[in-house]
Structure 1
Amino acid sequence: MVTLYRPGDGPWHRLRAGPKTALLLLVVLGICLLPATWWAAGVMAGVCLACYAVPGAGMRELGRQLVATRWIVGVTLVGQLIFLGPESAAANTSRVAVAVALAGLLALTTRATELLETVERAMQPLARLRIDPGRAALTLTVTLSTLPVLASLARTVREAQRARGGGRSLRHFAMPFLVMALKHADELGEALAARGVR
């Protein structure tokens, strides 16, 4: 399974997975409750900058996260501009960008096994409803990691195209990206099957 974790010794890395996940979820919840105004968009950007300004993360990593998700941000912005106008579009797009960037921060500073264990512990009450907490946690963890992994694969394909002197053709990008995404899905499926997940 592809992991986005990058070793480090900054505060985000030292913080245990449970409190870190809860803290970042609270931050995302907080930005979701802000109104769709210009000042709220500024607050969201400031919160994101503050989270990445902590030693061990850095502005360069934030830039990589935002570049990797530029298509999602672009599509969100265009759709919002068409239906809601500039102020709401800026605020709602900021909300999406910050939420994705903070999910990336969690993945970058937390080992996948620690994150899985944390989510599984949080889902233990589901056992009363006859829902397997382990399987639910695994599904959620894989889902949360899918977007950053696909963004990483897209970046790899783009870098390979640039190294070969290729242009920015969508046709030349789509096929290798699709092959890599399907290969990742196969590897993930094999890893899950090897662990007895059906």
Structure 2
Amino acid sequence: MLTLYRPGNGPWHRMPAGPKAAILLVLVLAVSLLPTAWPTAAIAAAVCAACYLVPGVGFRELARQVWSLRWLVVVAFGIPCIFLGVEAATVGTVRIVAAVALAGLLASTTPVTALLDVAERALGPLRVIGVDAARAALLLVVALGTVPTLARLAGEVRAAQRARGARGIRVFAVPFLVLALRHADDLGDALTARGVR
């Protein structure tokens, strides 16, 4: 989790966590609510690119985020393409990539403690119905950090496969599943050691 934050002094880094999270959430919702048509894919891509091209982040970070999502892109495009057609699959995939990349922008420009504070404040009103805001905030922040971690693990498994000359989905899926479950166990142990139950 802690490695997601990349220190910097650009506008995204200097902006308080609450307004930054609100702006990015509004952008994701706006892109998600547009009609499923070719222009929506272009708008989603342009919004995402514009957010990353702000000084202090840059195109290289956007490329890194998108590259880490390459397997998600394959699945998000392939299955809908069969059932819904190329246009709907493309628009849906670009929306998903834009949303995850914008979440990555939030995580990479905001320290984890600030993200926790924002999430806890946002979930505070739900205490009336019995929601533990601190636990729910921690869950959201951990979930935000899990996507890039799983992407990194998938890359490591792929690199090991290439080095051995192995191919096939089964050869990839089994070690990836083992690593993902091991990561979940380690994360659970770390949370338990810090008193989270």
The two structures have a TM-score, normalised by structure 1, of 0.89
Does the aligned pair in 2 maintain the 1:3–1:112 contact within 8 Å? Answer: no
User: For residue 75 of structure 1, what is the aligned residue in structure 2?
Assistant: 75
User: For residue 128 of structure 2, what is the aligned residue in structure 1?
Assistant: 128
Deviation at 1:158, TM superposition (A): 3.7
Range that drifts further, 96-105 or 165-174: 165-174
User: For residue 35 of structure 2, what is the aligned residue in structure 1?
Assistant: 35
Does the aligned pair in 2 maintain the 1:13–1:110 contact within 8 Å? Answer: yes
Deviation at 1:39, TM superposition (A): 1.0
Range that drifts further, 182-191 or 171-180: 171-180
Does the aligned pair in 1 maintain the 2:2–2:112 contact within 8 Å? Answer: no
Does the aligned pair in 1 maintain the 2:36–2:88 contact within 8 Å? Answer: yes
User: For residue 9 of structure 1, what is the aligned residue in structure 2?
Assistant: 9
Q: Tell me the distance in 2 between the aligned counterparts of 1:14 and 1:48.
A: 19
- Where in structure 2 are there 5+ consecutive unaligned residues? none
Q: Tell me the distance in 1 between the aligned counterparts of 2:166 and 2:53.
A: 34
User: For residue 63 of structure 2, what is the aligned residue in structure 1?
Assistant: 63
Deviation at 1:32, TM superposition (A): 0.6
Q: Tell me the distance in 2 between the aligned counterparts of 1:175 and 1:124.
A: 40
Residues 90-109 of structure 1 aligned to structure 2 (within 5 Å): 90-109=90-109
Corresponding residue pairs, total: 197
Whichever residue aligns with residue 185 of structure 1, its letter is A
Deviation at 1:11, TM superposition (A): 1.3
Q: Tell me the distance in 2 between the aligned counterparts of 1:174 and 1:14.
A: 40
Does the aligned pair in 2 maintain the 1:4–1:149 contact within 8 Å? Answer: no
SS in 2 for 1:196: coil
Does the aligned pair in 2 maintain the 1:2–1:149 contact within 8 Å? Answer: no
Range that drifts further, 111-120 or 79-88: 79-88
Deviation at 1:46, TM superposition (A): 0.6
Q: Tell me the distance in 2 between the aligned counterparts of 1:12 and 1:166.
A: 42
Q: Tell me the distance in 1 between the aligned counterparts of 2:16 and 2:120.
A: 15
Deviation at 1:27, TM superposition (A): 0.4
Q: Tell me the distance in 2 between the aligned counterparts of 1:104 and 1:186.
A: 23
Deviation digits for residues 114-153 of structure 1 (CA, Å, limit 9, x no counterpart): 1111100111101111211111111122122211221122
Does the aligned pair in 2 maintain the 1:80–1:88 contact within 8 Å? Answer: yes
| Runs of 4+ in structure 1 over 3 Å off | 156-162, 164-180
User: For residue 180 of structure 1, what is the aligned residue in structure 2?
Assistant: 179
Q: Tell me the distance in 1 between the aligned counterparts of 2:125 and 2:23.
A: 20
CA spacing shift, 1:9–1:158, aligned 2, 3 Å: farther
Whichever residue aligns with residue 84 of structure 1, its letter is L
Range that drifts further, 84-93 or 44-53: 84-93
Structure possessing the higher relative contact order (Cα contacts under 8 Å, 6 or more residues apart): 1
- Where in structure 1 are there 5+ consecutive unaligned residues? none
Whichever residue aligns with residue 42 of structure 1, its letter is A
Does the aligned pair in 1 maintain the 2:6–2:108 contact within 8 Å? Answer: yes
